[in-house]
Structure 1
Amino acid sequence: MASGLLQQALWIPFATFIVSTYLMVELNNQNALIRIYSRMVTCSFLVLTCMALPTKISIEPFAVQLSFIAFYIIILNAYQRKSSSGCIFFAFTAISIGSVFWVQELFFVPLLWIIVATNILAFSAKNFFASLLGLITPYWFIGGYLLYQDKLDIIINHFTQITQFGKIADFSSFTSLQFSQFIFIILLGIIGSVHFIRNSYKDKIRIRMIYELFITMFGCTTLYIILQPQHALNLLMILIVNTALLIAHFISLTKTKITNIVFFVITIIALFLTLTNIWIASLHF
């Protein structure tokens, strides 16, 4: 990605990636997601994102990824606060901004409402309308500008894309590398989920609720990829956020002989997939 800053003008995707990395640091620090001092959340995020970088890098997947990280970091401030309409508004505004780049992100909205009610414990009529206002706000400004420019058909065509569906579980367009990356990230998410479920009693109730949120999002994003593989790149960036949070908990808080071996195996596979990705990308220069 750094090599393409000049040749492919990747300044905006690179800057978005840097901001996402910083927000992952803040997400971990503000919520004390891991019981010990650890930077594994950020390290896991960096390794998995760099491993899964597409050959042709665009702003869209990074904007989608950033919008979800921003959503998490804002919405967790609303935990058990039914009067936190400000947090709810800005959290759903982040999702709406992401949907400007990829409109199918709006399919997550009903799930996020459920999560706000069941895991954040902050659902109320006031907060529900705050979330609706947050979803509308970016399009309010964009729509007004396009109306002024007499280009309102752009936003109409944008929302029309949400009705376009591909074949279910059609992975024919996947390369062997992309499929390997997808399976690897899924396995890491499963390992992290099983580990947390087995050891959740060691964490505070708030951390349990937060990690149940991540596990739910991991499962639903995986299902979304299986149902609509044509959106795999954007969905994979969302999946990486949740997987990084789950596997970081596993790596940081396990110290048996078997789990140490698993850590080295994970590292070797991640490096192999990353180097393979770099080699393939270099063929396009």
Structure 2
Amino acid sequence: MARKRLQNKVAESRFALPVTAVYATLVWLAGGLTDNGMYIQFALFAASAFMMMILNNQNSLIRIYSRMVSCTFLVLTAMTAFLFEKYEPFAVQMCMTAFYLAFFSCYQNKNTRGRMFYAFLFIGLASIFFVQILFLVPVLWIIMAGKLMVFNPKMFWASVLGVVTPYWFLAGYCLLTGSHEELIRHFADIAIFNPMPLYALPDTKRLAALALILLLAFTGMIHYLRNSYGDKIRTRTIYETFIIMNLIIIAFVMVQPQHTDMLLPLLIVNTAPPAAHFIALTGTRLTNMAFCTITTAILALTAYNIWM
């Protein structure tokens, strides 16, 4: 019988998610949840965590009993305490998790136009807070065709309608309030491409968080590509989607680092499942040491970000 190491005991524990949820809440309290009235941000974070849990349950992302997907999401998001004062990153993160819930439910079913509409409706909502997310739409169409195998004219137009629907309401509001110029500037921002000079790069705490998330992302991606044979075809499709999206978002961060605050939550959504797969389904001495080291680094960086 294979020896269960610390990482396996944590990954398979029924107490892992409740303990992690309490930990994340304490981090938010230490980061100023009540003192600074960050209730909207916390509610968006909690909704994202709940949807990640549903995403894991509905799609059996890990082939053993484990809540590591939700736990990894919670600790990585709590680590980015420097984002707590902004609600936009957490709104975009929640929209991305809601998108995946609807998007993956369309797998190999070309008669799910309603679900595809709602999936891209959340992308449209996210673009109100971060218009550059629209760059991901063509990638998602390619995934629809190549991975989910549901691309046809009706599904395509359902996705287009989903993206533009929030703007029908927003445009009406802008016309009523006479603020249509703000809507024009909103879309004009998507055409702005100004590489950030070295002196204006993200600060130390953002670079440290980004580096740690990237380490987990590549660890999870490499592990999954080497061990995907043990999962069902549907599960492989979902993980391949996470990997593709992660690579695109990483390239986006490298090219336009001024958007780091908005892209970090998206990276976390796409990194949590592969990283959780690595933690839950490995059990060597080396991977156990890696788990302990990464956990310590996350806790230390979380404390540093709260202190700063």
Q: Residue in 2 aligned with 1:107?
A: 135
Counting matched residue pairs gives 280
Q: Return structure 1 stretches of 4+ with deviation > 3 angstroms.
A: 168-172
Judged with a 3 Å threshold, the aligned counterparts in structure 2 of structure 1 residues 198 and 33 are, in CA distance, closer, same or farther, namely: same
CA distance in structure 2 between the aligned counterparts of 1:86 and 1:253, rounded to whole angstroms: 35
Q: Residue in 2 aligned with 1:166?
A: 194
1:151: Cα distance to partner? Answer: 1.9
Q: Where does the alignment leave 5 or more consecutive residues of structure 1 unmatched? A: 281-285
> What is the SS of the residue equivalent to 1:122?
coil
> What is the SS of the residue equivalent to 1:38?
coil
**Identity, % of aligned positions:** 46
Paired residue for 2:77, among 34, 49, 63? 49
Q: Which amino acid in structure 1 is aligned with residue 161 of structure 2?
A: L
1:171: Cα distance to partner? Answer: 7.2
Alignment of 1:203-282 (within 5 A): 203-280=231-308
Contact (CA 8 Å) 2:171, 2:183: kept in 1 or not? yes
Q: What TM-score, normalized to structure 1?
A: 0.95
Structure 2 residue 156 is the aligned partner of structure 1 residue 125? no
- C-alpha distance after superposition, 1:50-87 (max 9, x if no partner): 11221662111001111111111110000001121111
Deviates more, 1:107-116 or 1:1-10: 1-10
Alignment of 1:60-71 (within 5 A): 60-71=88-99
Structure 2 residue 62 is the aligned partner of structure 1 residue 9? no
CA distance in structure 2 between the aligned counterparts of 1:82 and 1:169, rounded to whole angstroms: 46
1:153: Cα distance to partner? Answer: 1.5
Q: What TM-score, normalized to structure 2?
A: 0.88
- C-alpha distance after superposition, 1:93-147 (max 9, x if no partner): 0010011111111111111111111111111100000011001100001111221
Contact (CA 8 Å) 1:169, 1:228: kept in 2 or not? no
Q: Which amino acid in structure 2 is aligned with residue 275 of structure 1?
A: A
CA distance in structure 2 between the aligned counterparts of 1:169 and 1:221, rounded to whole angstroms: 20
Contact (CA 8 Å) 1:98, 1:105: kept in 2 or not? yes
Q: Residue in 2 aligned with 1:29?
A: 57
Tell me the C-alpha RMSD between the 2 structures. 1.4
Q: Where does the alignment leave 5 or more consecutive residues of structure 2 unmatched? A: 1-27
Contact (CA 8 Å) 1:2, 1:14: kept in 2 or not? no
Contact (CA 8 Å) 1:169, 1:229: kept in 2 or not? no
